[in-house]
Structure 1
Amino acid sequence: MRARLTTALCTATTLVAVLGACAANTGGSSTVDTGRQQTGVIATDPKDSWGPAPEVPGARAGGTFTIIRETPVSHLDPQRTYSFAGLMAAPLFARSLTTWKDDGQGNLVLVGDLAETPGSNVEDDCTVWEFKIKDGVRFEDGRPVTAKEIAYGIARSFDPDLTGGPTYLQEWLADTPQYDTAWDFGANRGALPPGLTTPDDRTLRFEFARPRCDLPFAASLPSTAPLPADRDTGINLGHAPFSSGPYKVTRFRAGVEIVLERNEHWDPATDPVRHQYPDRFVWSFGPTTDTAANRVIADNGADQAALSWDYVPASLVSRVAGDAALRSRTILSPTPTANHLVINNKRVTDLRVRQALNYAIDREGLVKVLGGPHVAAPNTTLMPPATIGHRAYDAYPAGRNGDPDRARELLGGQTPELVLGAADSSVEQQLATQLKGNLERAGFKITVRAIPDDAKLDEIKKRDNPWDLYLSSWAADWPSGAAILPVLYDGRGIRAAGNSNESYFDDPAISAEFDRILALPPAEQAPQWAGLDERIMREHAPVVPLYVDVAYLVHGSKVGGVFVSSVFGYPCLLDAHVKP
């Protein structure tokens, strides 16, 4: 691992140090290093940002690659994309200012995608950034992508009707979390928000009121995808996004199927990470996780070239893990995804109740429900172990199976009646049943209410949602506490909808700490984030950390090139191909 990393860094500037061991996708191994921490570098050689991407050994062009998923992708509109499935689907048809070269083993190099480089820090103080846009990048209708279409895409993310996506760029340009009141996209359609300019067709310029040294990383998200103004269909764009990538959406049947076929105007010479191997990708929705896994295990017909998107379900883990014949058709990898039982702090205002919730949870039982160590590992911190500088602690030590007696002691005779909102997917309903049992033995009365899975992400992001508790997960948009703690726990950003702060936690002292740490040089931030992680949990208990995901996937015998994203922990499709 270190030898390959050294080779990768010969033309790159190190952003963070290697702080932990790495483990490759082990393809059926019974163990996985869930303590792996990511490494990140920014490419300095412009050649790293151009294509074509290196050929994948054994890959060939042709065939239909199918992804089977129980529930639909929440949004295909790049400015609204923020679900794991959406973030992994978007690069097939939407290019961003920057992107990650990822080997699937935790080694990441940030390169230019639409831009010629990962950006220029003009004043050397992170307040002014410029990106030079590549020649040769074209939309699906053949017209060239220029700085103006990228700027328009960013501007439309200010539209309060287009909720759900990341808000880094909007907040940084407006210099306030309340960006949607600072600049009105509807009233200024055709204009750009303050701080965003296009000096010419090939230059995109950002000017910030304060240093924003993480801009090149934030620019890797789909929110910087370009869009011509004449192709903006508002809230309906997700049904027919306008492609700048190697594939374009040719069929969209809501809740049933999405078909992507080759974009003949994509130029591989401009693209450092993507390929165009399959003739088409088909996302097929509806089958349960058990059904999808059983289909690809059976390996018949079209399912030979199919991937079961959702991790191997608990009911099949022992069967898959114990079948040596399936070992070459499984992927086992640690992920950076942390799962929490989120407490709505606007509704559950008593700290002792939130602390009791933390003592009540049987994490080992949850892991068993999920399928065991092939699927999840218990976690007691806000930041997952993959985060740079992570430090282990347990603010509410309850043993492996919870401490209901301590929870009851904190409740002092109360029997809080709480509503747990859970997606209507089979996995989340199983988890909700387990959590209900944990909490009720500790003195709570829990009502479980189902939320449509494809709507849940939007619904829990509404400030006045009707649930006291809900399950949620977070994988940092880049491997730093800066992309976790301020995003999830800065109360100054809470608005009517589209909140990443799903716990609605708001404490001025903690917000001040966010500002203090973000002003430090990046190399000094990691231990500060670790200390603040523990302080938030001990002083406020805004959520219950539950577990980190382990990716355990099964696919058909003709699937090639799939690996688990080191950034998001779900299948990356950029190297995917259909084997002969």
Structure 2
Amino acid sequence: MRQPSVIARRVAAASVSLAVAAGAAACGPEDNDAKGAGADSTPHKGGTLTVLNAEAQTDFDPARLYTSGGGNVPSLVFRTLTTRNRENGAAGAKVVPDLATDTGRPNKDATVWTYTLKDGLKYEDGTPITSADIKYGIERSFAPELSGGAPYLRDWLSGAADYQGPYKDKKGGLKAIETPDARTIVFHLNKPEGEFPFLATQTQFTPVPKAKDTGTKYEQHPVSSGPYKVVSNQNDGERVLLERNPHWSGDDERKAYPDKVDVRSGLDSSVINQRLAASQGADKAAVTTDTNLGPAELARVSGDKSLAARVGTGHFGYTNYIAFNPKVKPFDDPKVRQAISYAVDRSSVINAAGGSALAEPATTFLPDQKSFGYTPHDLFPAGKSGNAAKAKELLKEAGHPNGLTVTLTHSNSKDFETSPEIATALQDALKKAGITVKLQGLEDNDYRDKIHSIKTEPGFFLAHWGADWPSGGPFLAPIFDGRQIVKDGANFNTGLLDDKSVNTEIDAINKLTDLNAAAARWGALDKKIAGQALVVPLFHPVYKRLYGSDVKNIVISDWTGVLDISQVAVK
């Protein structure tokens, strides 16, 4: 489990000149949802969709992608056993069948999952897709030379921990995956996992025909199981051209209206937003899956009604927070952690994050979406501007009547989640409570190395976490399950929590195949953990992205928070 990088927010510089396109004065942003002007227009097949992205579409190999890396582009080529429901908002947080006839059939304790493929599925060359191809696709994702994908399969599949992939395998593949016939595939897990249908949405479940596997060169021309095939991949994903797969069928989710998709990456964020705002030539039929509008850009765009109508708003399961290491003084004292929780001024933090249009205050670690099991609570109420008096009272009880001095570690990256602006806002708020905060800003790589190593983790730092699928499991377990503490690698359990009751409850919830029941339990567990004050939730991000004037049928689900290019039309 890891923090998603491709979907991370990109806030462009305030100096971006959208005024030429917008001709607008600054004012409050107009909050458009997914059902904007584009959504009401009748979609038609044909035309070319252009995707303008900052991140290059590298590693275009289903084994190497982390979830649906690179926005939605891979999902146009790679189909999996299950997929996300392609609908707006909360409805889009559901898992639905894709290559399979259903979302999976578990045994009594959810340790065995069986899937049946739909009839008549074919690759781009007309050959049939088989269960053996899915098994092989999963197996090759274990090859060291194809690393980069999510780690769940290695953890969940029986006997898979030390598997090194089919290129070195002499024993016939993973015994935990059975294919009794061409349409049936069975997975044997080493523990109950009620959320296996979510895992089956990840690109490692893409079928790969063994005869067409070219190892590390496969990304140049992966064999398509989706509505489009790769006809060109230039400069390691800088430009990827997709055209229709004539043998695509049995897909109830992807609309695939355009005839072609032209993905152009490696662009500056400001240039992307300028081009989308101007919406000229091919850019009329353009979208972005990784570039947000920043505060200054939103102010300019919102002053022009025609531009404001072309802003899609999305929410992704993501939380920005303060993390404490209770092994470092004075944060070993719960009252000190509670004092900081009370002292936080979320209003100033929201302003530092770009304003209320781009960030929503958080008092829960779980995102405020039903699929995660969101249960409202605020155990250390700071109000909008912080409760300095309560913080001082707790500090006095902790033996610091004259306050104390601490160091806050953050990244110097332009991405605002851990930015100097956020750190400064916290520094100012805590000063009111008698807490002097010294700031330690690090370059992004140094920051990540420091906070994710038990040996170097600071006592007080900024962090963030995003879910690999919309559930409380991949949100709470990596951060609070004591068995996921990594001593000699990247560790995300920043509070080093190893609470038997928490671990036991995580196991109990994982056994549930009723996802609504599981969600309620995740919400209750979130509240229980919050009482230990190991983190201070600050805000959940909001995504604001422009799209071209000829783009229709805008769908933005709570699963990804970004425009779903499998749904858009350009005619």
1:493 aligned residue (484, 487, 495):
484
Matched, 1:68 2:52: yes
The one-character-per-residue Cα deviations of 1:121-155 (angstroms, maximum 9, x if unpaired) are 3x454333221223433334443321112112222
2:354 aligned residue (371, 380, 393):
371
Matched, 1:291 2:284: no
Q: Distance in 2 between matches of 1:260 and 1:466?
A: 44
2:311 aligned residue (330, 333, 346):
330
Report the 3-state secondary structure (helix = DSSP H, G, I; strand = E; otherwise coil) of the residue aligned with 2:385: coil
Question: Aligned AA for 1:491?
Answer: G
Question: Aligned AA for 1:149?
Answer: D
Question: Aligned AA for 1:559?
Answer: V
1:113 aligned residue (73, 94, 98):
98
Report the alpha carbon displacement of residue 96 of structure 1 after superposing the two structures with TM: 0.5
Report the alpha carbon displacement of residue 190 of structure 1 after superposing the two structures with TM: 6.8
Contact 2:110 2:511 in 1 (8 A): no
Q: Distance in 1 between matches of 2:450 and 2:209?
A: 31
Q: Percent identity?
A: 29
Q: Distance in 2 between matches of 1:361 and 1:137?
A: 54
Match of 1:578 in 2: 570
Report the 3-state secondary structure (helix = DSSP H, G, I; strand = E; otherwise coil) of the residue aligned with 1:150: helix
C-alpha distance 474-326 of structure 1, shift in aligned 2 (>3 A): same
Q: Distance in 2 between matches of 1:220 and 1:513?
A: 25
1:420 aligned residue (410, 426, 435):
410
Matched, 1:205 2:196: no
Report the 3-state secondary structure (helix = DSSP H, G, I; strand = E; otherwise coil) of the residue aligned with 1:331: strand
Report the alpha carbon displacement of residue 357 of structure 1 after superposing the two structures with TM: 5.7
Contact 2:360 2:539 in 1 (8 A): yes
Structure with a larger share of its residues in strand: 1
Q: Distance in 2 between matches of 1:246 and 1:291?
A: 29
C-alpha distance 575-359 of structure 1, shift in aligned 2 (>3 A): same
The one-character-per-residue Cα deviations of 1:69-118 (angstroms, maximum 9, x if unpaired) are 33335753323433675352221111000123332132245432122332
Matched, 1:303 2:283: yes
Report the alpha carbon displacement of residue 385 of structure 1 after superposing the two structures with TM: 1.4
Match of 1:381 in 2: 364
Q: Distance in 2 between matches of 1:258 and 1:73?
A: 8
Report the alpha carbon displacement of residue 224 of structure 1 after superposing the two structures with TM: 0.9
Question: Aligned AA for 1:228?
Answer: P
C-alpha distance 218-83 of structure 1, shift in aligned 2 (>3 A): closer
Report the alpha carbon displacement of residue 556 of structure 1 after superposing the two structures with TM: 1.2
Contact 2:71 2:562 in 1 (8 A): no
Report the alpha carbon displacement of residue 467 of structure 1 after superposing the two structures with TM: 6.3
C-alpha distance 255-161 of structure 1, shift in aligned 2 (>3 A): closer
C-alpha distance 196-540 of structure 1, shift in aligned 2 (>3 A): farther
Q: Distance in 2 between matches of 1:223 and 1:233?
A: 16
Contact 1:332 1:374 in 2 (8 A): no
The one-character-per-residue Cα deviations of 1:444-499 (angstroms, maximum 9, x if unpaired) are 322222337xx999x79965696644543314513x32342224432323458996
Match of 2:17 in 1: none
Match of 2:556 in 1: 564
What is the correspondence of 1:305-324 to structure 2 with a 5 Å cutoff?
305-309=285-289, 310-324=291-305
Match of 2:25 in 1: none
Match of 1:5 in 2: none
Question: Aligned AA for 2:103?
Answer: P
Q: Distance in 1 between matches of 2:58 and 2:328?
A: 28
C-alpha distance 263-450 of structure 1, shift in aligned 2 (>3 A): farther
Match of 2:254 in 1: 274
Calculate the aligned-residue CA RMSD, in Å. 3.7
- Segments of structure 2 that go 5 or more residues without pairing to the other structure are 1-28, 431-435
Report the 3-state secondary structure (helix = DSSP H, G, I; strand = E; otherwise coil) of the residue aligned with 2:274: helix
What is the correspondence of 1:208-227 to structure 2 with a 5 Å cutoff?
208-227=189-208
1:432 aligned residue (396, 415, 419):
419
Report the alpha carbon displacement of residue 564 of structure 1 after superposing the two structures with TM: 1.0
Could you tell which deviates more after superposition, 269-278 or 402-411?
402-411
- Segments of structure 1 that go 5 or more residues without pairing to the other structure are 1-27, 34-54
C-alpha distance 516-134 of structure 1, shift in aligned 2 (>3 A): closer
Report the alpha carbon displacement of residue 438 of structure 1 after superposing the two structures with TM: 3.0
Report the 3-state secondary structure (helix = DSSP H, G, I; strand = E; otherwise coil) of the residue aligned with 2:70: helix
Could you tell which deviates more after superposition, 492-501 or 469-478?
492-501
2:81 aligned residue (67, 79, 97):
97
Report the alpha carbon displacement of residue 219 of structure 1 after superposing the two structures with TM: 1.1
What is the correspondence of 1:17-166 to structure 2 with a 5 Å cutoff?
30=31, 58-73=42-57, 75-82=59-66, 85-86=69-70, 88-108=72-92, 110-121=95-106, 123-159=107-143, 162-166=146-150
Match of 1:248 in 2: 229
C-alpha distance 551-508 of structure 1, shift in aligned 2 (>3 A): same
C-alpha distance 404-305 of structure 1, shift in aligned 2 (>3 A): farther
Report the 3-state secondary structure (helix = DSSP H, G, I; strand = E; otherwise coil) of the residue aligned with 1:223: helix
Match of 1:447 in 2: 440
Match of 2:520 in 1: 527
C-alpha distance 172-184 of structure 1, shift in aligned 2 (>3 A): same
C-alpha distance 249-489 of structure 1, shift in aligned 2 (>3 A): farther
C-alpha distance 343-449 of structure 1, shift in aligned 2 (>3 A): same
Structure number with the bigger relative contact order (C-alpha 8 A, sep ≥ 6) is 2
Contact 2:67 2:203 in 1 (8 A): no
Question: Aligned AA for 2:416?
Answer: E
Match of 2:465 in 1: 473
1:398 aligned residue (378, 382, 395):
382
C-alpha distance 151-65 of structure 1, shift in aligned 2 (>3 A): same
Report the alpha carbon displacement of residue 220 of structure 1 after superposing the two structures with TM: 1.8
Q: Distance in 1 between matches of 2:341 and 2:53?
A: 32
Give TM-score scaled by structure 1 length.
Answer: 0.77
Contact 1:420 1:447 in 2 (8 A): yes
Q: Distance in 1 between matches of 2:145 and 2:311?
A: 40
C-alpha distance 201-519 of structure 1, shift in aligned 2 (>3 A): closer
Question: Aligned AA for 1:444?
Answer: V
Q: Distance in 2 between matches of 1:561 and 1:124?
A: 41
The one-character-per-residue Cα deviations of 1:501-542 (angstroms, maximum 9, x if unpaired) are 46374414221221133345735433332221122222151x
Q: Distance in 2 between matches of 1:236 and 1:463?
A: 33
The one-character-per-residue Cα deviations of 1:149-168 (angstroms, maximum 9, x if unpaired) are 21122223344565543333
Report the 3-state secondary structure (helix = DSSP H, G, I; strand = E; otherwise coil) of the residue aligned with 1:79: coil
Contact 1:462 1:499 in 2 (8 A): yes
Instruction: Work out the number of aligned pairs and report it.
Output: 516
Q: Distance in 2 between matches of 1:233 and 1:354?
A: 53
C-alpha distance 378-80 of structure 1, shift in aligned 2 (>3 A): farther
Give TM-score scaled by structure 2 length.
Answer: 0.78
Report the alpha carbon displacement of residue 56 of structure 1 after superposing the two structures with TM: 10
Contact 2:353 2:421 in 1 (8 A): no
Contact 1:274 1:574 in 2 (8 A): yes
Match of 1:538 in 2: 531
Q: Distance in 1 between matches of 2:51 and 2:488?
A: 30
Q: Distance in 2 between matches of 1:355 and 1:79?
A: 43
The one-character-per-residue Cα deviations of 1:418-445 (angstroms, maximum 9, x if unpaired) are 54235x4x4438x502122134443232
C-alpha distance 564-205 of structure 1, shift in aligned 2 (>3 A): same
Match of 2:7 in 1: none
Report the 3-state secondary structure (helix = DSSP H, G, I; strand = E; otherwise coil) of the residue aligned with 1:383: coil
